[in-house]
Structure 1
Amino acid sequence: MNIALIAHDKKKNDLVQFVEAYQTTFAEHQLYATGTTGLRIHEATGLQIHRFNSGPLGGDQEIGALIAQNKMDIVIFFRDPLTAQPHEPDVTALVRLCDVYSIPLATNMGTAEVLIHGLNRGDLTWRNVIHESQGESNESNESNESNE
């Protein structure tokens, strides 16, 4: 599965700790992240992560493009609801794309944990059907690159 990891500044530590807690699960999947978030997760875990630009510099939109191509399977986006974000329209667009393409989205640790447990149980294998119906295997869409 292709998993996007995004966090606003005040939520980055929470996301790093979350990925550390479920590192063995995340290690089995292709990880994508916005710039600083991806770097922090990589430094803490050693996991390979394809890093895009930071959110305000277009990283949210880069992940959104993968969602629009139905190439992202899960989005974990720890949002900070108490701090105004200069790129809020991009955040709103990303959330909307997840709804349009039925991509599971967690915006907080509680929902992220439910998604990870579901992933471990096999509850999200329906995403493989989507890839197969498009004539592609999930592996063919995955990149194990890291922009370090």
Structure 2
Amino acid sequence: MRLGLAANRLHHLSEDAALFRWLRACEPGIRELQISLHVVGRTYDAIAAAGMLAGYPGLRRYPYGREGGLMKLVAEVVGVDHDERTLDGAIYLIDPVDPSSVFPEAAALKRQCVIHGKPYITTVASARDWIELERIRAGLLPDPAADRLHDLEGQTLALIAHDAMKPQMMAFAAENFDLLSRFARRVATGTTGQRLNELAWSRGWPQGRSWVHRYQSGPMGGDAQIADLVLERRCQRAIFFEDPHVARQHEADIQLLERAVTTVTDEAVCITAPAVAQRWASAAAERARRR
């Protein structure tokens, strides 16, 4: 597996910064899985200065962001001439108030990951979760240190889908209904929530009892309501099927939710594409069986 890696300045400034918290937790898994990390210049320099991943052959240095490093990751998510430079996804640890987090190359990295069904990982919790589930897919035993992330019975899950992505959300929920029902609570925006409740009732969920709690529709502020839950640590996971091809009038609300997730980087996991969500669900179910 090949992953792009970048972190905003805040996330590698100190020894307890987000980048290093993730590496301390996941370096053994990175080595076990032999993940190739294609790392933008300043992030690479910070890893080297901290003495982490020392001697690891899968670490590749890219130019600084101002010299096109992040732009190169975007091209490699899409795919370039050489297979060894085609990325399977990207980890971009975002500081939501860093201006570079909204540069065109940052937006393009997310968009191309979503379009190509590849993981776009922006928080420490998401990055830890992804490494653990790839370990499970590789047949390795669950890491007890990751149990907190997989205590679904103690978590709230947000299920959100733009209009063009609602059929994929319904299909995903139908295929993984038992797994999603393990969450202590599920929340959704307007129409998506209504359709999910109808699905649940058709699957035997008690009539008149909501499977998901419905907030307002996205354009009416539902994304902002769920962002508030995230900020209050009352929503730990979001599965957000975004349509990257359509301009949306409530784009600011969508960005608000995404910024809320990155603000609580150690607490919130976000998934933005159906293929990635299904990969997560399959591995999460397998991890539960092994535990």
Using the size of structure 2 for normalisation, the TM-score is 0.40
Question: Residue 215 of structure 2: which of 52, 67, 78 is its match?
Answer: 52
User: What residue is the counterpart of 1:106 in the other structure?
Assistant: 271
Q: Give the aligned residue type for 1:9.
A: D
Following TM superposition, by how much is the alpha carbon of 1:118 offset from its aligned partner in structure 2, in angstroms? 4.7
Aligned counterparts, 1:19-38, within 5 A: 19-29=173-183, 30-38=185-193
Separation in structure 2 between the aligned mates of residue 118 and residue 72 of structure 1, nearest angstrom: 21
Query: For 1:76, what is the secondary structure of its paired residue?
Result: strand
CA displacement at 1:26 relative to structure 2: 1.0
1:97-119 deviation line (CA, Å, top 9, x unaligned):
11121211111112212332454
Is 1:69 aligned to residue 238 of structure 2?
no
| 1: CA distance, partners of 2:186 / 2:213 | 6
For 1:130, the equivalent position in structure 2 comes to none
Shift of 1:71: 1.0
- Equivalent position SS for 2:249: coil
1:81 match: 244
Taking the aligned partners of 1:118 and 1:95, their CA distance within structure 2 comes to: 24
Structure 1 segments unaligned to the other structure (5+ residues): 123-148
Query: SS state of the match for residue 105, structure 1?
Result: strand
- One-letter code aligned to 2:167: N
Which amino acid in 2 is paired with 1:40? Answer: R
Give 1:59 deviation, angstroms.
Answer: 0.4
- Find 2:195's aligned residue among 40, 43, 56: 40
Residue 7 (str. 1) matches residue 161 (str. 2): yes
Q: Letter of the aligned partner of 2:176 in structure 1?
A: Y
Unaligned runs of 5+ in 2: 1-154, 206-210
Q: Which letter maps to 1:42?
A: N
Q: Aligned in 2, Cα 1:119/1:70: closer, same or farther, shift over 3 Å?
A: farther
Matched, 1:91 2:254: yes
Normalised by the length of structure 1, the TM-score is 0.77
Q: Could you say what secondary structure the match of 2:159 adopts?
A: strand
For the residue of structure 2 that corresponds to 1:60, the secondary structure is helix
Q: What's the CA shift for 1:89?
A: 0.8
Aligned-pair identity (%): 33
CA distance in 1, matches of 2:278, 2:272: 11
SS at match of 2:257: helix
